[in-house]
Amino acid sequence: MAVYIKSKREIEGIRAASRILAETLATVEAEIRPGVSLNELDQVCESFILSHGSTPTFKGYHGFPAAACISVNEEVVHGIPSERKLVEGDIVKVDIGVTKNGFIADAARTFEVGKVKPEVHSLIRTTEASFRAGATNARAGNRVSDIGAAVQHYVEKKGYSVVRELCGHGVGLKLHEEPSIPNFGRPGRGVRLKTGMTLAIEPMVNIGGFEVATLANGWTVVTSDGKPSAHYENTILVTDGEPEILTLQNG
């Protein structure tokens, strides 16, 4: 398994793409409200990315038709934007890739639409916290499975389940690089992490069971039991200590 260690120049390029991605997420968050369509949100993302000298990585990737993956409620990931309008109580996941000067960043957030049920609010907060639990283990000398083991432990301790059929990945020069980063498993296994690796860590957490299915469109992944799912992702840089979270505005 070939895992590419980024040079200082490459890391700076990925940082630049990450900054634009973080700003894109903040911009689209401000537009999320009841009555807005998924296509409108996608257009906000695409326009912002293009206006900052970048391109939306997902658009055209294996034929994906939009700039952002936008998934609602029981849709886990890879939702295709449409004229569907958000309503009070929905949760919407926005997953974006940004390419700038050949360097790529990838991140996702789950946003609340108005007031959501307390258990759904808790799901979102748990998903974000599980990312942080996993990312803390993304340091030189540890192994890839240390990340997923920490995510799974945190999620299941809170009474939720972590999706097993989808995983995080290396990122930076390509959208999907080695290594794959499952969000579950036993610690101490897999590739040893090294300074200079750039990774997309992305827990996907369900209120119900971990089982998922893919819709007939070939893209959208949904929970098998129809219960809500949340997604939280950042591109991070592995260091000798705490990782640098590149796709946070203050990261």
Residue 169 annotated as binding? yes
HEC profile of 160-186: CEECCCCCEEECCCCCCEEEEECCCCC
Side-by-side strand order, sheet with 204-206: 161-162, 204-206, 229-231
* Separation CA 144–CA 191 (nearest Å): 6
Residue 52 annotated as binding? no
What residues are paired with 221 via a beta bridge? 77, 214
Residue 233 annotated as binding? yes
Q: Which of 10, 5, 15 is nearest to 246 (CA)?
A: 15
Per-residue burial over 178-196, b if 16 or more Cβ lie within 10 Å, else e, is ebbbbbbbebeebbebeeb
Residue 153 annotated as binding? no
Residue 177 annotated as binding? no
Known binding residues for a divalent metal cation: 95, 106, 169, 202, 233
Known binding residues: 78, 95, 106, 169, 176, 202, 233
Known binding residues for substrate: 78, 176
